[in-house]
Amino acid sequence: MALKRNFSVGLFGSIWSALLGLAVVPLYIKYLGTEAYGLIGFFATTQALLQLLDLGLSPTINREVARCSATNKMQEARSLLHTLSIVYWGMAFVIGLVILVLAPLIATHWLQARALPTATITQALMLMGLVVACRWPVGLYMGALMGMQRVALSSMINTAFGTLSSLGTVAILILVSPTIKAFFIWQACVGVCYALIMHFVAWRVVEGKHEKRNFSLDDLKRIWKFTAGMSSLAITGVLLIQIDKVVLSKLLSLESFGHYVLAGVVANSLYILLTPLFNAIYPRMTALVASGEIDKLESLYKAGTRLFLSVFFPLVLTGAFYSQDLLYIWTRDVNLAENTAIVCSLLLLGTGLNGAMHFPFALQLAYGNTKIPLTITSVLIVTLVPLIFVLTLHYGARGGAFAWLLLNISYLLFGTWLTHRKLLIGQGWSWLTNCVGLQLLTSLAVISLGWFLTHEATSYFYNLMWGTCFMLSSITINYMLMPSEIKSKFELWYKYKTITPS
């Protein structure tokens, strides 16, 4: 019951947040301009890169709280949370200070602005530092709630503050000041309130009684091995995901970079499904590993993958084939839709394959094995980062997007092979062909054939209507092709609001 509730509420929150985000982007562009929106994209990239400084502590608290909850050792979890809170707030101050100092240099020597004055960009960058610092501790408290399998509560808070952030920003731009400075001031105010509320809620959830707590080096020593692995994994992972944006932010104008960011917004909307999925299955898998229920773990891993991808792949491929139609309906700008469509399709396909690997990644972390994902990302960096640079330098935005697709094809194949050499040994080929490949090929056949037979160049609404029909047909066919035992588990899960793996 908890798994379904966590996924359902998390899914609702993600859908609402994503729809809200998609709705406000045209308003941001309208009131701030494409160049200023490129600056917002640079802010998002900076936030992602700064996750390197998380040092693996957020997923560590998630895993440790889940483990302590399953083994009734919550005092140990509370002590760790207190210690890491001190670390996080200290890091928030340092991050804000460093960005404040570097802002003039970045504005002058890195960003390629044409319309925005350098002084305005410098002020915006300084405010970015304040926003990042205010939001920094949120990841720790969210990790604690995830570990307690209180994903629904975390999602509701995140949705509330996401709504306040987006709608409040629009109100500020319309009623107070349509400037990038006003944008970041409001984001900073919301960030402070968000961090304080998450602090209060996390402690209410994990604290059973009042007890004296002190900063504990022993807690840090106990988790250092897993944290070090997660930190290394975070560094390599961020490099893989963000290197294209870093290069493009230097080589392209802010306006062109804003177009790339726009395509990225569409591709990242897939995390509407991926984020609540991972937040639900990771603590559940951790608990099953801790209790030694490997049969249930394997059942959740295989059946969950197949059920999820039966819906996910049709959605991804529909977006990829009908990207120009989606972009036009969203922005009502024909030229923008035409220029961004190919980039958007490539990013969607790459993110879709990346999404399939959320199950193996959750499995690796549930076992506390950071060596496998670290090896995977390290190999991909060595082999594919040069390709990213070459393609981006020669083909710009399309080259960066194509590199992202190649990256995730390699990730799917190599990552599956390496994972199942160590975990659930012997299940790799079965998982790749039956749980991933069949859903992908079936969806590709249905949607590509439908696009070929019905697509018309400028009939955007007509095309999208047919695309939706083909997507639903693909989902239905995927479900019909599933083994009866998976269907029965899904029907029981839906009927009794629980999953009972065999």
Alpha carbons 410 and 408: distance in angstroms, whole number: 5
Q: At what angle do helices 371-422 and 254-268 cross, to 10 degrees?
A: 30
Residue bearing tokens 């059920």: 307
Handedness of CA 483, 487, 492, 493 (dihedral sign): positive
Alpha carbons 219 and 85: distance in angstroms, whole number: 12
Q: Which residues of the chain carry a pLDDT beneath 50?
A: 496-502
Alpha carbons 375 and 367: distance in angstroms, whole number: 16
Residues 375 and 427 in one domain: yes
Among candidate residues 250, 276, 306, the one where a domain is terminated: 250
**Structural domain total, the chain:** 2
- Looking at residue 475, what is its pLDDT? 92
Residue 30 in tokens: 């309208």
Residue 492 in tokens: 């029981």
Q: Is residue 277 part of a domain?
A: no
Residues 189 and 315 in one domain: no
Q: Is residue 41 part of a domain?
A: yes
Q: Is residue 367 part of a domain?
A: yes
Q: Is residue 436 part of a domain?
A: yes
Cβ contact 146:287 at 8 Å: no
pLDDT in tens, 107-165: 787 776 677 778 888 888 888 888 888 778 887 888 888 777 777 787 788 888 888 98
- Looking at residue 55, what is its pLDDT? 62
* Residues with Cβ within 8 Å of residue 138, at least 6 apart in sequence: 191, 194, 195, 198
Output the CA torsion 472→475→481→485 (10° steps).
Answer: -130
Buried residues in 265-280 as b, exposed as e (16+ CB within 10 A): bbbbbbbbbbbbbbbb
Alpha carbons 121 and 117: distance in angstroms, whole number: 7
- Looking at residue 359, what is its pLDDT? 92
Residues 191 and 338 in one domain: no
Cβ contact 301:359 at 8 Å: yes
- Looking at residue 227, what is its pLDDT? 67
Residues 335 and 241 in one domain: no
Among candidate residues 250, 273, 300, the one where a domain is terminated: 250
Residue 412 in tokens: 């799917």
Alpha carbons 101 and 122: distance in angstroms, whole number: 10
Residues 306 and 244 in one domain: no
Cβ contact 64:80 at 8 Å: yes
Cβ contact 295:372 at 8 Å: no
Output the CA torsion 21→42→312→340 (10° steps).
Answer: 90
Q: Is residue 265 part of a domain?
A: no
Residues 299 and 218 in one domain: no
Residues 150 and 89 in one domain: yes
Nearest to 157 by CA among 10, 24, 282: 10
Residues 472 and 357 in one domain: yes
Residue bearing tokens 């504990």: 216
Q: Is residue 466 part of a domain?
A: yes
Calculate the alpha carbon distances from 41 to 71, 248, 255, 285, 339 in Å.
43, 11, 11, 34, 18
- Looking at residue 373, what is its pLDDT? 87
Calculate the alpha carbon distances from 436 to 95, 425, 481 in Å.
40, 17, 13
User: Which 8-state DSSP code applies to residue 359?
Assistant: H
Residue bearing tokens 């980062």: 385
Residue 295 in tokens: 């049969």
Alpha carbons 106 and 100: distance in angstroms, whole number: 10
Q: Is residue 270 part of a domain?
A: no
Q: Is residue 485 part of a domain?
A: yes
Residue ranges making up the domain that contains 168:
1-250
Q: Is the pTM of this model over 0.85?
A: no
* Residues with Cβ within 8 Å of residue 21, at least 6 apart in sequence: 162, 166, 265, 269
Residues 154 and 29 in one domain: yes
- Looking at residue 420, what is its pLDDT? 92
Q: At what angle do helices 57-70 and 74-109 cross, to 10 degrees?
A: 170
Alpha carbons 287 and 264: distance in angstroms, whole number: 34
Residues 213 and 308 in one domain: no
Residues 225 and 77 in one domain: yes
Residues 306 and 243 in one domain: no
Among candidate residues 221, 250, 279, the one where a domain is terminated: 250
